[in-house]
């Protein structure tokens, strides 16, 4: 076995070590000395790594490698049956920022039933969207308004707001949705777009009052 092969095997063993601190240092070491041979093992480890901080280091290590090598591997991973694999691949693509990955951000991913995958897809989409496709993306994202718990709704609002004024037609349409949660989320997002310092909780509470008053006046 060559020295390079021995080093690769050693790195792989450390990335799979039972100790999170060992895995963290292994990912740091791989990122500090990028080698295309490590890309597949980093991507595979992202799909199963249980510790957030280690996953973040794995992503950093991948960003240290050429996108010509990492992006194709990550694009394969966004089609994985494992939710964590899809989520982490999307997160890493958003950090790399190579817009060649944009076609992989499908409506299916933007509406993925797993909230973590969807949130990663929203963040990646905002980073990767090409000029001229913002309105189409805003329309797709708006179909997810009212979804999930606070963190999911906040993630969607942030993604929409990052697109700017182009989101307003989609928000106005959502403000008339039959679902009160969708209306609330759309109104809160519009408030945050106008006043980013207001805070999500304040915007949601204000939106709830508006929806209730609107329902009362209609009744």
Q: Cβ atoms within 10 A of the Cβ of 186, count? A: 26
Report the percent of the chain where pLDDT is more than 70. 95
Question: The CATH number of the domain where 60 resides is what?
Answer: 1.25.10.10
Can you give the residue range of the structural domain that contains 12? 1-128
Q: Tell me the C-alpha distance between 183 and 177, whole Å.
A: 6
d(CA 69, CA 91): 17
User: Total structural domains in the chain?
Assistant: 2
Q: What is the pTM (predicted TM-score) of this model?
A: 0.89
Q: Are residues 34 and 116 in the same domain?
A: yes
Per-residue pLDDT of the chain (219 residues; tens, 9 = 90+): 445 556 677 888 999 999 999 999 999 999 999 999 999 999 999 999 999 999 999 999 999 999 999 999 999 999 999 999 999 999 999 999 999 999 999 999 999 999 999 999 999 999 999 999 999 999 999 999 999 999 999 999 999 999 999 999 999 999 999 999 999 999 999 999 998 887 888 788 888 888 887 754 443
Residue at which a domain ends, from 128, 154, 186:
128
pLDDT in tens, 80-93: 999 999 999 999 99
* Selection from 192, 183, 190, 191 nearest residue 211 by Cα: 183
């Amino acid at each position: 076995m060559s020295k390079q092969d021995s080093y690769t095997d050693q790195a792989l063993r450390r990335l799979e070590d039972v100790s999170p601190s060992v895995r963290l240092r292994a990912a740091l070491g791989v990122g500090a000395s990028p080698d295309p041979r490590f890309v597949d093992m980093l991507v595979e480890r992202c799909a199963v790594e249980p510790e957030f901080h280690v996953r973040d280091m794995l992503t950093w290590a991948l960003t240290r490698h050429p996108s010509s090598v990492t992006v194709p591997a990550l694009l394969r991973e966004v089609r994985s049956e494992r939710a964590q694999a899809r989520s982490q691949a999307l997160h890493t693509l958003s950090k790399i920022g190579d817009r060649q990955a944009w076609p992989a951000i499908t409506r299916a991913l933007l509406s993925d039933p797993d909230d973590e995958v969807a949130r990663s897809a929203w963040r990646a989409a905002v980073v990767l969207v090409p000029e001229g496709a913002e309105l189409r993306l805003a329309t797709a994202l708006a179909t997810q308004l009212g979804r999930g718990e606070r963190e999911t709704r906040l993630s969607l609002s942030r993604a929409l707001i990052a697109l700017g004024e182009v989101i307003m037609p989609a928000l106005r349409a959502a403000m008339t949705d039959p679902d009160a949660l969708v209306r609330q989320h759309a109104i809160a997002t519009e408030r945050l777009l106008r006043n980013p310092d207001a805070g999500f909780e304040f915007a949601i509470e204000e939106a709830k009052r508006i929806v209730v008053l609107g329902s009362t006046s209609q009744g």
